[in-house]
Chain A
Amino acid sequence: AQSVTQPDIHITVSEGASLELRCNYSYGATPYLFWYVQSPGQGLQLLLKYFSGDTLVQGIKGFEAEFKRSQSSFNLRKPSVHWSDAAEYFCAVGPSGTYKYIFGTGTRLKVLA
């Protein structure tokens, strides 16, 4: 069965520090992969997505993610975190053709001033 694992429930970083949020997926074929961000009281906003091609994808707000097939991972990175990045981040997998998105449990990011 398809699944998404986000091993880190909470992460705290200082403003200006680099960030990496981990995501591992389980799926038989190459999935469509997404990262969404959710601010308190808000819906989910797409940060970036991967379907095929270049395994390093750029997203909005300075985020990037790298697809590593050998590790079944799709980790999210940002070189310098801003206080406004504090939110919850969800990794999701969407099997091609169905667009039935399966979400991980999320990682809550706290940013220290």
Chain B
Amino acid sequence: EAGVAQSPRYKIIEKRQSVAFWCNPISGHATLYWYQQILGQGPKLLIQFQNNGVVDDSQLPKDRFSAERLKGVDSTLKIQPAKLEDSAVYLCASSLVRGQAPVGTEAFFGQGTRLTVV
């Protein structure tokens, strides 16, 4: 079974530039998550989709971050303009959850995109 795919693996940009990350979840997974992991911290949820609808984006800095999940499959996370404090690993995860979640459903994580803003 193919896992969660993310690209690019690494990205270095200057502050005020824009950047986009791509995620392809596991086939058939209805729920997709984007997490931000700052060095030395645990992952923090930015946005959660179920199919192509947003379930939770309460911690997404909407003045600079945007995300979409067209057709309920792939997703893109964008930052525009980037700030130094956006340097982090951006993790995408997916789970089988749809509607009433069956017990035992877990999230599967991609390898992440390491962003460095200079």
Contacts and interface: CB of A to CB of B under 8 A. Distances in A.
Nearest to A91: B42
Nearest to B101: A99
Nearest to A96: B101
Contacts of B16: none
B24 interface: no
Nearest to B43: A103
Nearest to B109: A43
Contact of B107 (A4, A41, A99, A105): A99
Contacts of A43: 4, 91, 93, 109-112
**Interface residues of chain B: helix, strand, loop or mixed (majority):** loop
User: Which of B31, B43, B95, B110 is most buried by chain A, counting CB atoms within 10 A of its CB?
Assistant: B43
B107 A104 contact: no
Interface residues on A, range: 20 to 34
A42 B95 contact: no
Contacts, number: 61
A96 B104 CA distance: 11
B14 interface: no
Contacts of A34: 106
A71 B43 CA distance: 24
B45 interface: yes
A28 interface: no
A106 B35 CA distance: 15
B2 interface: no
Interface of B: 4, 31, 33, 35, 40-45, 48, 55-56, 91, 93, 95, 97, 100-101, 103-112
25 contacts: A4-B42, A43-B4, A43-B93, A43-B110, A43-B111, A44-B109, A46-B106, A46-B108, A51-B103, A90-B42, A92-B42, A96-B101, A99-B97, A99-B101, A99-B105, A100-B45, A101-B33, A101-B43, A102-B45, A103-B35, A103-B42, A103-B43, A105-B41, A105-B42, A106-B42
Q: Lowest 5 A-B CB distances belong to which pairs?
A: A103-B42, A43-B109, A44-B109, A43-B111, A103-B43
